[in-house]
Amino acid sequence: MLHVKNLTFSYNKIPVLKDISFNGKQGENIAIIGESGSGKSTLLKVLYGEYDLDKGHVFWKDEEILGPKFNLVIGYDFMKYVAQEFDLMPYITVEENIGKHLSRFFPEETQQRIDELIKVVELEAFANTKVKTLSGGQKQRVALARALAKQPEILLLDEPFSHIDNFKKQSLRRKVFRYLKDKNITCIVATHDKDDVLGFADRMIVLNNNKIIVNDLPEMLYKNPKTPLIASFFGEFNIINGAIVYANQLKIIESSDLKVVVKQSFFKGYFYLIEADLNGNSIFFENQNKLEGGIEVCLSIIK
Ligand code: ADP
Ligand code: MG
């Protein structure tokens, strides 16, 4: 359905994306991850047709997505894009923003649609509030709802929950991704937050040094992170004898060759993250209880 083939793009001769190829099926949730500056936002903009490619092609079904050189108006009806910096109309209400591109000839249907989307993004209490008075997170939710108003076939989301506080984030993510699955909308989500990915993404694409370094199921990448960059996305990890070992894969046992001296304990809720010293280097493991600095413990790797 989405077909990206050998996409290469640079800003003023500075390459940002090199030879990017991947496919997306209808209804699939694809996460694009990578460090800040790795080109996630640029990739979404290019997929949207905001820029002309140096090389390569992007197709949605049989239609080629073209940049401004070949297209008078940027964008296509079947595709919506919610930018990292969302631009809304500040002086009209939440409802009016969401309904902005909906038909005025069917006021009842339009109102129903707006009500439905306001529920998805949990803004019922703000329907008639002017957007300029909302917080960043609330605005982000309006931008999401507006992108969904005229149901797209494919939705590009750039760090969609980055401005939303933790109190709301979990339930909002579940609602939005559930909605997209129910409506069979393909979505491409650029993020550096593993919670946007785990439990939601069907595939995960990792960008590094202008290229895709892996494209696989999140479970596969978690279980077999090929590089420290991939492991770091999932959590605290160590490199022991050349192998990547997550902090939660180390546990204290009676005796072993892996003897470490505790440095610090960090409270993490249902566990403590322990920083310890192993021959002058820090090693991290998880433990049920806090440990006093200076004590020696033995660790074993559980797989
Ligand atoms: P990410 O979203 O992964 O943080 P971006 O796609 O925003 O990364 O940026 C990728 C690279 O392209 C960065 O080095 C950034 O400085 C550069 N860049 C982004 N936008 C522009 C632009 N409009 N003009 C020139 N360089 C840009
Ligand atoms: Mg970005």
Q: Which two tokens stand for residue 294?
A: 């200076």
Give the confidence band of 161 by pLDDT, cuts at 50, 70, 90. very high
Q: What percent of the chain has pLDDT over 70?
A: 100
Rounded distance between C-alpha atoms, residue 182 and residue 124, angstroms = 21
pLDDT digits (tens, 9 = 90+) for 96-134: 999 998 888 889 999 999 999 999 999 999 999 999 999
**Ligand 1 binding site (Cβ under 6 Å of any ligand atom):** 11, 16, 34, 36-42
- Please list the residues that pair with 246 across neighbouring strands: 237
Dihedral of CA atoms 133, 137, 142, 146 in degrees, nearest 10, equals 140
How far is residue 146's CA from residue 117's CA, in Å, rounded to a whole number? Answer: 8
Q: Phi first, then psi: give them for residue 223, nearest 5 degrees.
A: -70, -30
Q: What is the pLDDT of residue 105?
A: 85
Token digits of residue 24 = 């997306």
**Partners of 92 in beta bridges:** none
Average pLDDT of the chain, as a whole number? 95
Distance CA 127, CA 103 (A): 18
The number of the ligand 1 atom at minimal distance from the alpha carbon of 38 is: 3
**Is the pLDDT assigned to residue 166 strictly greater than 90?**
no
- Ligand approaching nearest to the C-alpha of 206: 1
Q: Tokens in use for 238? A: 């160590």
**CA-nearest residue, atom 27 of ligand 1:** 11
Which H or E run includes 301?
strand 296-301
**pLDDT at site 86:** 80
Residues within 5 Å of ion ligand 2 by Cβ? 40-41
Atom of ligand 1 nearest to the CA of 12: 25
Whole-number pLDDT of residue 288: 96
Contact between 162 and 84 under an 8 Å Cβ cutoff? The reply is yes
127 CA to centre of ligand 2 in angstroms: 29
Q: What's the confidence (pLDDT) of residue 6? A: 98
Tell me what the mean pLDDT of segment 169-197 comes to.
96
**Alpha helices by DSSP H, 133-283:** 136-149, 166-182, 218-223, 228-234
Interatomic CA distance for residues 204 and 29, integer angstroms: 9
Is the model's pLDDT at 77 over the cut of 90?
A: yes
**221/151 Cα distance (integer angstroms):** 32
Phi, then psi, of 97 in degrees rounded to 5: -65, -45
pLDDT tens track for 202-258 = 999 999 999 999 999 999 999 999 999 999 999 999 999 999 999 999 999 999 999
pLDDT of 217: 98
Beta-carbon contacts of 87 under 8 Å, excluding residues fewer than 6 positions away, are none
- Which domains are assigned to the chain? 2-227 (3.40.50.300), 236-301 (2.40.50.140)
Going by their DSSP bridges, the two strands 281-287 and 272-278 should be labelled as antiparallel
Instruction: For Cα atoms 74, 79, 83, give the angle at the middle one, nearest 5 degrees.
Output: 70
For residue 45, which atom of ligand 1 is closest to its CA?
6
Confidence bin at 303 (pLDDT 50/70/90)? confident
Q: Cα–chain-centroid distance for residue 160?
A: 7
Residue 211 to residues 15, 239, 248, 276, Cα–Cα distance (Å): 10, 24, 30, 35
CB 36 within 8 A of CB 59: no
